[in-house]
Chain A
Amino acid sequence: MNEQGRRGPDSAPSTALVRVSCVSKRYDAVGHPALDDVSLTVESGEAVAVMGPSGSGKSTLLNMIAGFDRPTSGEVTVAGERVDRMGETGVARFRRREIGMVFQFFNLLEDLTVQDNVLLPAQLAGVRRADARARAGELLAKLGIDRYRDSYPGLLSGGERQRVAIARALVNAPALLLADEPTGAVDTATGEEIGRLLLELNQEGQTLVLVTHSPELAATYARRIVRLVDGQVESDTSAGPER
C-alpha cells in the first residue's frame, strides 16, 4: 500500500461526486460518536475502500452517503446535492436515481424472481417496462446470471445472489455504487469473484465506495483506502494495482 497523503475536502477538485464535510454522528448524548468530524471526497470514477475495525464507523459513513441516516453535524453532498438536507421522500427519489446499494446479506426480495428484483428499482424510477427489461437482461447477462432470471433468490448460491444484488444496484445506472461488506457472506473464491466484478465495473467508469474488513479485497480492487478508527479518518491512501 503506497501512502500518497491524506485527501480532504479542501484538496478535492470541484468534480467530486461525494463530498463529506466535517460530519459527526452521535447516536446518544454520552459515549463516543460513531463519526467524529469526518471529511472525505470521492471523485467520479474512483474506487474507494473504507476499512477499519468493528465500530469504527465504516457503515455509518456509508449510511450517511446513501442518505439512510443523517449526520448530527456536517454536510454530505452527492452528485452536487445535499443529501443531509433532503427529506425522506426526496432522498428516496435521489437514491433510486443516483445511488446503487449492495449489502453484505444481499437483501433481495425473496418472493420476487431474480428478474423482478432487478427490475424493481427501474420501475420505481419510471423507466419504461421494455427498457427496464432490456437493461435488466443486459446486466444479468453481463454478470453471468441470466439463466436464473426466472428463479427465486432462495435457490441461488451466495455469490449468485450477490450478483443479483449488484445487478439490482446498477439497473438505474447510478452515479455511485455503495457496497457494504459485499464479500462478507460468501466464501473466499466467490469473494474474489465479486471483487473482480466490482473492479471491472470500476474500470468501466463506475464510481465505487466499498466498506470491507478484508485488506486483500481493498488492496486488490480499490484504488484508494480510507481507514477509520473510532469514527475518525486515520488514513486515506492510494492503493491497488495500476489500471
Chain B
Amino acid sequence: MIRAASGGALRRVVQSVVVLGVLVFSTAAALLALAVLTSANQGFADAFANEHEPDIAVTLNSTKVTTAQLARTRRLNGVTAIAGPYPEATITASAGTAAGARRVGDSRNGPRTGTARRASAQADASAGAEPTQRGAKGAAGGAASAAGSATTFTVVGRSSPSGELHDVAYNPSIMDAVTHGQSRWPSALGEISIAQATSIRVPLGDTITVTSASGRPKLKVVGYGSQTVLFDGGWVLPAEIPLLRAKGTPAREEVFYSFSSAGSAAQISADLAELKRALGAGAIAGSQSYLTFEQETAREQSVNTPFITTFAIIALLLAVLIVANVVAAAVIASYRRIGVLKSIGFTPSQVTAVYLAQIGLPAVLGAVIGAALGKHWALPLIQMAPIPTKVTVPVWIEFAAPLGMLALTGVAAAIPAFRAGRMSAVQAIAAGQAPRPGRGYLAHRLAARLALPRPLAVGLAAPFSRPARSAITLLSITAGLMAVVMATGLSDSIHKINHSAVQGLGQVQVTPRGVRGAPFTPNSRRPSRRHCSRRPEPSTTSPRATKQSGSSSVPPVPAAEYPASAGQDSSRWSNTRRFRCSSGCQDARPPPSPWSLTTARRHGSDGR
C-alpha cells in the first residue's frame, strides 16, 4: 500500500508540489493567526515587567500628605514597591518658534527620505501599539506642534529616567525620525523631554513656551521618552516644577505603587482604598491604574488581529479547497488505477488510504516547513509591519497549527479518496475518466445554441459535466481573489493610517470605495492639513483639561470608549480630546462596518 501511495505521489509531481506549497502557506498563516490571537497583549506584559511599571499611579495633594504618612504606605499590606514622590505640574504649552512649529515628516518641509519615511512609520506604528495617552497627566495635544496653538499636559519632575518603578526609555529608537538618536534626559533647568505617546513633534533643540505659568517660561526640548504605561506627558528636572505651576495651583506629587494583588479592577479598587485610608481624606487627588492601559493596548493590538485572522481563514479555505480539488483530480485521473488496485485485492479503506497517503507525504512536509517559516520567518516580518505587534509562539501553537492543518487537509482529501475507495472495480476500470452519464447534457445543448465557435461552446459547457469539481475550482479562485484584494487593500489602508498618524490627522476610517460615509482619502485629508482649526476638546471636565485652550463645541468621547479603571478619579485623569476640523476631516469613531478599520491611536486624535 505504501508502494502504491508513494508511487502515486512521485508520479504526480505537480500535484505533490501544489499540496506542499498550499500547506506551507496555510500552516504559516494559521500559526501566525493563532500566535497573534493568543499573545495580543504579550508585548504590554513583557514591557510592563521590564520597565517595572507600577500598578497604580496616584497624584497627591502635597499639602495634605506628610512625609511620614507617605512612608507608612510603603509598609501597607500588599504594597510591594513604591516610587516617588515626583513633583508634577499641569502645563499649557505652545511651540515657541516658527521652527518649532514645523512638523516632522510634513511634506511641506520637502520630500522625505526613505529613511525618514521608515522611521516615521516606525514611530507611528509604535504609537499605535502602545497604550493610548489619554490621562490628563500624559495627554498632550498635537496642537503644540502647530504654530501658535497650545495644548495641556502634565510634566513630572524626575532627575532620572529610571527608578524603582516606571522606567522611561529616554532615547527610544522608535523616535529616531525626530531625534536621530540624540534624545536625552533633561540635565538642566529649562529642558524638557516629551513623552513619545503625545503627539507633540518638534525637533530637538526647539523650544516650547509654557503659557500657563507666570513669566511664560520656555523649555528646550532635549528628548523624547517612551513609557509602557502612559502616565506622564513630559519630564523635567524636579526643580523645574515649581516654575511651571500656574499661579494658585496646588502643589501635587506623583507616587507609584505596586501591589501583590492587582490583577483585576476589584483588587485595584481595594488597593486604592487601602491607600486612601492610610493617607487620609483629600490626600489623593487622582489615580490611575495600569489596567486601563492594558485594556487599551489589547484593543490597539487587535488592529492587526482581524487582518491576520482573515488571511489565515482564507489560507485555510484555500488549503481545503485546493487539497480537495487536487485529490478529486487525482481520483478522477486514476479511475483505472483504482480499478486495478481493487482487482488485485485492495479493500475500499486501503484504496482510500492510498489517496490520503499520496496527499499526506507532501502535506506533512508542507506543514512542517510552514510551521518553521511561520515562526522563524513570518513572525519577524509581522513585527516589522507598520503596526508592530510583539508576538510569541507558545509551544502548543507550534504543534496545533501544523496538526490542525493536516487534519483539515485530511478531511478535504478524505472525501474524494473515500469516494475512490467505494467505487466498484468495474466502474473504475470500465468508466475510466468519463463523467457520470447525464451530467452536463443540458449545458452542452444550450452551449451548442450559442453563436460561438464550437470548440469554445464545448469548453464552456464542460464544467457542468463535473459540477462539484467546478464549484470547488470556482471557490478556490474566489478565495484567492479575496486574498489578493484584501492584501492590496490592506496595504493601502495601513499606508493611509500611518500617513495620517505621521501627519497628525487622528483616527482613520477605512471603508470600501463607493460606500457612503466618509472614507479616508488623500483628498479628504489634504484640506484638513491646510485649513483645519484643531481645537482640543476634553471629553470630561478635568482640572487639567480646563487649562487647555480650544473650543468646547465637540461632544465628549463616550465614556464607554474609555473605561475608567476602578477607583480612579476619572474627572481628574481623563482629558481625551477630539478635534473638529473646519474643512470636514473626520473625527472618527469606530465604524460599525466589518470592512471598516479604525486605528486606535488616540494620541493622533489629540489635536491632530
The residues of A with any CB-CB pair to B shorter than 8 Å are 63, 66, 68-69, 88-89, 92-93, 95-97, 101, 103, 107-112, 116, 120-121, 123-125, 168, 172
Contacts and interface: CB of A to CB of B under 8 A. Distances in A.
B3 A107 contact: no
Given A107-B336, A111-B8, A69 B426 contact: yes
A108 B10 CA distance: 17
A172 B343 CA distance: 13
B1 interface: yes
Nearest to A171: B344
A111 B10 contact: yes
A92 B3 contact: no
B350 to A, nearest CB: 7
Nearest to B339: A107
B464 interface: no
Contacts of B505: none
B3 A116 contact: yes
Specify the main secondary structure of chain A where it touches its partner.
Answer: helix
B429 A124 contact: no
Given A88-B347, A107-B343, A124-B346, 16 more contacts: A63-B425, A66-B425, A88-B422, A89-B348, A93-B345, A101-B344, A103-B343, A109-B4, A109-B340, A111-B11, A112-B4, A121-B344, A123-B1, A124-B350, A125-B345, A168-B344
B121 to A, nearest CB: 53
Nearest to B8: A111
A68 B344 contact: no
A116 B3 CA distance: 8
A101 to B, nearest CB: 5
Contacts of A112: 3-4, 7
Nearest to B341: A109
A34 to B, nearest CB: 11
Contacts of A120: 3-4, 344
B544 interface: no
Contacts of A107: 336, 339-340, 343, 429
Given A68-B424, A109-B7, A112-B3, A92 B340 contact: no
B349 interface: yes
Contacts of A97: 345
B453 to A, nearest CB: 35
Contacts of A124: 1, 344-346, 350
A110 B4 CA distance: 10
Interface in B1-40: 1, 3-4, 7-8, 10-11
B529 interface: no
Contacts of A63: 425-426
Interface string B413-443: 0000000001011100100000000000000
A98 to B, nearest CB: 10
Most buried by B among A89, A93, A109, A112: A109
Interface in B330-372: 336-337, 339-350
A66 B348 CA distance: 16
Nearest to B11: A111
A194 to B, nearest CB: 18
Contacts of A168: 344
Given A107-B336, A109-B4, A109-B340, A121 B345 contact: yes
B7 to A, nearest CB: 4
Interface residues of B, number: 26
A123 B345 CA distance: 10
22 contacts: A66-B343, A68-B424, A69-B424, A89-B347, A89-B348, A92-B345, A93-B345, A93-B347, A95-B343, A96-B344, A96-B345, A101-B344, A103-B429, A109-B4, A112-B3, A112-B4, A120-B4, A121-B344, A124-B1, A124-B344, A125-B345, A172-B345
B205 to A, nearest CB: 75
A42 B339 CA distance: 25
A78 B160 CA distance: 96
A103 to B, nearest CB: 7
Contacts of B11: 110-111
Contacts of B424: 68-69, 88
Most buried by B among A69, A88, A89, A96: A88
Contacts of B429: 103, 107
Nearest to A95: B345
B420 to A, nearest CB: 12
Contacts of A66: 343, 425
A121 B422 CA distance: 19
A172 B429 CA distance: 22
A123 B429 CA distance: 23
A111 B334 CA distance: 13
Contacts of B3: 112, 116, 120, 123
A107 B426 CA distance: 13
A35 to B, nearest CB: 13
A110 B7 CA distance: 9
A176 B339 CA distance: 19
B432 to A, nearest CB: 11
A68 B345 contact: no
A83 to B, nearest CB: 13
B94 to A, nearest CB: 80
A120 B346 CA distance: 10
A142 to B, nearest CB: 19
List 8 A-B pairs, minimum CB-CB distance, nearest first.
A96-B345, A111-B7, A92-B347, A107-B340, A68-B425, A89-B347, A68-B426, A121-B344
A165 to B, nearest CB: 10
A109 B10 CA distance: 13
Contacts of A93: 345, 347
Contacts of A108: 340
Contacts of A109: 4, 7, 337, 340-341
A92 B8 contact: no
Contacts of B340: 107-109
A92 B346 contact: yes
A30 B41 CA distance: 70
Contacts of A95: 343-345
Interface in B384-436: 422, 424-426, 429
B426 A88 contact: no
B524 to A, nearest CB: 62
A89 B4 contact: no
A35 B6 CA distance: 39
A112 B347 CA distance: 19
A234 to B, nearest CB: 24
A89 B351 CA distance: 11
A112 B424 CA distance: 23
A88 B428 CA distance: 14
A162 to B, nearest CB: 14
A119 to B, nearest CB: 8
Contact of A89 (B8, B344, B349): B349
A191 B11 CA distance: 31
Nearest to B349: A89
Nearest to B348: A88
B24 to A, nearest CB: 25
Nearest to B1: A124
Most buried by B among A66, A97, A120: A120
A148 B1 CA distance: 22
A93 B422 CA distance: 15
Contacts of B341: 109
A123 B3 CA distance: 10
A149 to B, nearest CB: 15
A66 B11 CA distance: 29
A241 B236 CA distance: 118
Nearest to B342: A92
B358 to A, nearest CB: 11
A203 B539 CA distance: 104
Contacts of A125: 345
